Structure 1
Amino acid sequence: MTAVTQWESNLTRLGLTLPPVAAPVAAYIPAIRTGSLVYTSGQLPFVDGELSAVGKVGAEVTTEQAKEAAKLCALNALAAVHGLVGLDAVVRVVKVVGFVASAPGYNDQPVVINGASEFLGEVFGDAGVHARSAVGVSELPRNTPVEVEIIVEVQ
């Protein structure tokens, strides 16, 4: 039996477990390592193979629903990291890039992506503080409201 890492203990404390790595929906891999960095592909808010929400934020999806979806994207990104190198290899979160499918006039993209950022802070503490971009877009794959990718430093 393998020892539970601090990061995995934090997930348990939050009532979460890492899901299976989401299968790619196109021609890419979930995560790739170069040197001491792991880059994830954009992750969608899949739960048991289904999107947690669909539609544009500010229209069919509320800011709070989208913020929760961003958290799920980050959880799926951690699963991709874990599937490649193991979560215990993570030294720190370096960057988060979040895309928000936005209704016309919607401009609270940073609030939505806080769902991912705050979650990563809860899991990694000070090592979860990161650089970030939160971008509004007109469309995302499969009509998802949010997509998140992360870059982590690993040992």
Structure 2
Amino acid sequence: MIELLVKYFNQLAGGFLAACFTAFLVWRHYLKSRKIQASDRFRTVLLNELKELYPEGIYSVSSAEVRRILKGSHPKISNAVIEYSDHVKDKYGFQSAWDDFSGINMHRDIGEEPRYMHYTLTSHVGNDFYSEPRKQFIKDVEKLLSHTIKT
């Protein structure tokens, strides 16, 4: 038995390495397809929830309506961000884009729901002042979308 192992060592080692390489390729394909699916889900949720505002709708609604839409869509978008954040390559950049979009950096108490005041016509929160908050909204949405995988 040992003589057979020694005699066919190269064939056995080659077969083992081929099996390992095949398993790696299957795993890699599965990982990439999961990232693409997560990216598609995140992009779909974000665009569906913001369809009244993005890309041009924000210019045709009032500030109160903008806040109402954003506050109403926050739970779904927040869940999508949590699910997708595991699959993002640049986690810090994605979290920073989410913080900018949701206004987490705008001197809120921890655990408080976002008010989205930074997208109103005359938003002045803390030391931050957006002279054109509606253009800032579009920039913030595009920053979030830039972290998705284009398919």
Mark yes or no: TM-score above 0.5: no
Which structure's residues are more often helix, by fraction? 2
Normalized per residue, the structure richer in strand is 1
TM-score by length of 1: 0.29
Higher Rg: 2
